Amino acid sequence: MNSPSETAFVTQLVAAPIEISDSARLVDAPVVSVLMLAYNHEAYLHQAIEGALQQQTDFPFEIVIGEDCSQDRTRAVALHYQEKYPERLRIVYAERNVGAMENLMRVMRLCRGSIIAICEGDDYWIDPHKLAQQVRILNERPKVGIVFHSTWFSFDEKEALEGPYVAWHGDKWFGPREVILGGGGFMPTPSIVFRKEAMRRMPPGLLKDAPMADFPIQIYAAAGGGAYYIDKPMSVYRRGHPQSWNYTMKNVERVRDFESRANRVVLEMAASLPQYADAFRDYLFRHHLNELLFYHYRNDAARIDIYAQILERNASRFAWHQRLVTRMARKRALMLPAYLVQRLVKETRTRINRKKYLAYV
């Protein structure tokens, strides 16, 4: 019988998954499933698979590759490794392209491990003890739902790695509110290892319209007992190639669609986790205002308008006022133009907890 979380994933699938694996030779009862999404990653997938295969553990693990009908030879690369390592690899696909969210949902449902580690097909791991360290922490801290670490950046046009990205100078525990306020970039995607059962908290259908899965996964995994950070870069996050998220966000209309969908998902998460509703409100305000200030500094009128409209539409929900907006602007040595300030505070109210917010900014 399917668990509640598995049922949610099953009911959302619109294309039946097909699996390529050797059931007679697959490792029994894997503790960890390495979830690897791949689309047009022919040039990178071998590095992602090799990084997972090199993991030295005292527990069994599997690698489940979700191949989404790539237009290049991504599937051929995956098949090569599946034939070479039939005890370790499984390939999941459909007869047509289904997109990143459904690809994620179907692969997550089929993962046999109680712990899931994410490594997308264009990223890779560089430390053979990565999985062992993260699983050890989950075993030692049964309330912690997710473990992550710092990562290096790789830009296609550069040979040298940059970073590390996310470095707090020491291992550290973060509470659920800190994870929410950190936003989707709080945990580098190839660093995430979490308990599969934590996804039962996620409302059915939430991921279907989500522009990205990282943020919801981080939040629901951490909602029970927080997240643990290892201050060591053990993975590489690739940026700048045509299939990477940051590359696709260069399109203004894509940004508008992304932010609109992301806003809806955050509000739905807030409704499902009411004990953290204030943290979700703080996150939305800070995120949209930070983006507006950033693009104001770059004189990007199109993106300024996107974030100004979002803030304006939500003004009554969060009851912002002029003093708060201008104070946040001053902290960055920037001042918003008068017309933007007027737009943001036109529905000014005093329902805001002034001391709390002014201390926060």
Full-model pTM:
0.83
β-pairing verdict for 115-118 and 193-195: antiparallel
Q: Where does 50-174 show beta strands of DSSP type E?
A: 61-67, 89-93, 115-118, 124-125, 146-149, 151-155, 162-165, 172-174
DSSP assignments along 250-283, one per residue: TSHHHHHHHHHHHHHHHHHHHHH-GGGHHHHHHH
Same domain for 270 and 235, yes or no, is: no
Same domain for 236 and 337, yes or no, is: no
- Has residue 168 got a pLDDT over 90? no
β-pairing verdict for 18-20 and 89-93: antiparallel
Q: Which of 228, 247, 266 is the last residue of a domain?
A: 247
pLDDT digits (tens, 9 = 90+) for 108-139: 999 999 999 999 999 999 999 999 999 999 99
The pLDDT value given to residue 262: 87
In Å, how far are 37, 38, 344 from 69, measured between CA atoms? 11, 9, 44
Query: Measuring CA to CA, which residue among 82, 222, 260 is closest to residue 138?
Result: 222
Peptide bond just before 164 cis, omega within 30 deg: yes
Same domain for 28 and 96, yes or no, is: yes
Task: Count how many domains the chain has.
Answer: 2
Same domain for 289 and 313, yes or no, is: yes
Residues spanned by the domain of 46: 4-247
Helix/strand/coil for 20:
strand
Same domain for 215 and 264, yes or no, is: no
Same domain for 242 and 345, yes or no, is: no
- Has residue 343 got a pLDDT over 80? no
Q: Which residue has the higher pLDDT, 317 or 89?
A: 89
Same domain for 43 and 125, yes or no, is: yes
- The answer to whether 192 and 146 have CB atoms below 8 angstroms apart is yes
CA dihedral 217, 219, 222, 228 (to 10 degrees): 80
Neighbours of 342 (CB within 10 A): 11
Same domain for 163 and 308, yes or no, is: no
Q: Which of 218, 247, 276 is the last residue of a domain?
A: 247
Same domain for 97 and 225, yes or no, is: yes
Residue 100: CATH number of its domain: 3.90.550.10
> Within the chain, how many helices (H) and strands (E) appear?
15, 13
Q: What is the mean pLDDT of residues 230-252?
A: 73
The pLDDT value given to residue 359: 40
Structure tokens at 314: 């939500």
Same domain for 239 and 255, yes or no, is: no
Same domain for 124 and 241, yes or no, is: yes
- Return the residue matching tokens 């930070």: 290
Same domain for 16 and 95, yes or no, is: yes
Q: Which of 207, 231, 247 is the last residue of a domain?
A: 247
